[in-house]
Amino acid sequence: MSDVREEVRRHYAEAARGVEAGAGCGCGTGGCCEDGQAFGSALYDAVERAELPDAVVLASLGCGNPTAVAELREGETVLDLGSGGGIDVILSARRVGPVGRAYGLDMTDEMLELARRNVAEGGVGNVEFLKGYIEDVPLPRGSVDVIISNCVINLSADKTKVFEEMRRVLRPGGRVGISDVVASDGLSPADRAERGSLVGCIAGALSFAEYRSGMEGAGFEDVEIEPTHAVADGMLSAIIRARRS
């Protein structure tokens, strides 16, 4: 797993440096895209983008907009797994309001530094960024109401552990609203690898059946996986919703 983590860390450190250089996080600077139309800031509406610092928009690498499906409420505590440049943390912090809290978790120093600057520029104060791994979340049991994530779980080499950690840190009745790349059930792992790289958010994707089984096995209920758009042949961005029992 350490080799996978290091490959991902290097890739996203390069993406963060691309933003610092004003080049954005597109495919040419190490972003999470095999197809620039399927990933990134274009998946957020114009009103949301207009309210954000330019560097936050440039740093967007995801395959969806989890804050649009998580139904965040005033006063809630939300955790973004793999928070990158901070776009979903900033949007979440604004939605939960000053009595709520938004945590962003990332393992890449360069992304954390970029995100903290973006939050300062965005003028949101109810935010805390944490350095760590999505397989080992540095928060206590039952400490958050909602977990969001944007095209990150597919990058993990131990997705079972990710699902277990998600359940651990959620309060009873807490919920998940994430975006991720999911493979058609007929595609083997080798088929997925032929369609794109691990760091491009393709090769490591679970199938629909695998995703559902993994979440249910970790103790989630009401698991819904709704495809939104294709990112490669047989590979789709999807919205995943679930509830902690």
Mean pLDDT, rounded, of the chain: 85
Weakest mean pLDDT among 6-15, 93-102, 187-196: 6-15
- CATH number for the domain including 90? 3.40.50.150
How many domains, in total, are found in the chain? 1
Average pLDDT over residues 154-169: 97
pLDDT at 16: 76
Q: What is the 3-state secondary structure (H, E, C) of the chain?
A: CHHHHHHHHHHHHHHHHHHHCCCCCCHHHCCCCCCCCCCCHHHCCHHHHHCCCHHHHHCCCCCCCHHHCCCCCCCCEEEEECCCCCHHHHHHHHHHCCCCEEEEEECCHHHHHHHHHHHHHHCCCCEEEEECECCECCCCCCCEEEEEEECCHHHCCCHHHHHHHHHHHEEEEEEEEEEEEEECCCCCHHHHHHHCCCCCCCCCCEEHHHHHHHHHHCCEEEEEEEEEEEEECCEEEEEEEEEEC
Per residue in 106-122, pLDDT (tens digit) is 999 999 999 999 888 88
pLDDT at 70: 86
pLDDT at 54: 53
| Parent domain of 23 | 2-244
Prediction pTM value:
0.85
